[in-house]
């Protein structure tokens, strides 16, 4: 018996397959999901995100505050997982911590969002920083 031809569901689950084609710097991106509450589960945040197209790639951004002396190291470590620093909008951080937004393009689901949120929290903590939350951007569906 031949294997079925067509999309393999596990590729979406494990993030393999065709690379995402969303440009994180395109001008029409809008926030479609977010959570800046440590107690809120990613599944709850995604459930209330009515504008999120779950079958399309999104720019997942993690908002961190890191001591300036560790920002470069944190960026290098995050780059190993495909993250890049987002362009800064606004001024520097407060309390001797620099605001750092790390972003990457991926399909967004509750499991992977929670894993990445935990990974970023651990990374920030190892370098005397903290995480404020995360958000996800997709192109604005309205013209």
Per-residue DSSP letters for 82-125? T-EEPPP-S---STT-EEEEEEEEE---HHHHHHHHHHHHHHHH
Write the pLDDT tens digit of every residue in 15-29. 555 544 899 989 999
Ordered strands of the 130-139 beta sheet: 29-35, 130-139, 58-66, 98-106, 84-85
User: Is domain 26-139 annotated with CATH 2.115.10.20?
Assistant: no
Q: Choose from 8-12, 51-55, 130-134, 137-141 the range with maximum mean pLDDT.
A: 130-134
Q: What is the pTM of this model?
A: 0.81
Tell me, rounded to whole angstroms, the distance of Cα 49 from its chain centroid.
15
Domain residues of the chain, as ranges?
Answer: 26-139
Tell me, rounded to whole angstroms, the distance of Cα 10 from its chain centroid.
21
61 has a pLDDT exceeding 70: yes
């Amino acid at each position: 018996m031949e294997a079925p031809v067509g999309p393999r569901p596990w590729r979406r689950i494990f993030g393999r397959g065709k690379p995402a084609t969303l440009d994180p710097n395109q001008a029409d991106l809008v926030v479609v999901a977010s959570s800046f509450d440590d107690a809120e589960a990613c599944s709850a945040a995604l459930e209330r995100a009515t504008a999120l197209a779950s079958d399309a790639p999104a720019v997942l951004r993690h908002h961190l505050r890191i001591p300036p002396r560790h920002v470069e190291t944190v960026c290098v470590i995050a780059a190993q997982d495909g993250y890049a620093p987002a362009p800064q909008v606004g001024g520097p951080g407060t309390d001797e911590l620099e605001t750092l937004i790390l972003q990457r393009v991926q399909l967004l689901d509750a499991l992977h969002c929670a894993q990445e949120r935990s990974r970023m929290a651990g990374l920030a903590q190892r370098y005397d920083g903290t995480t404020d939350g995360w958000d996800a951007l997709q192109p604005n569906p309205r013209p």
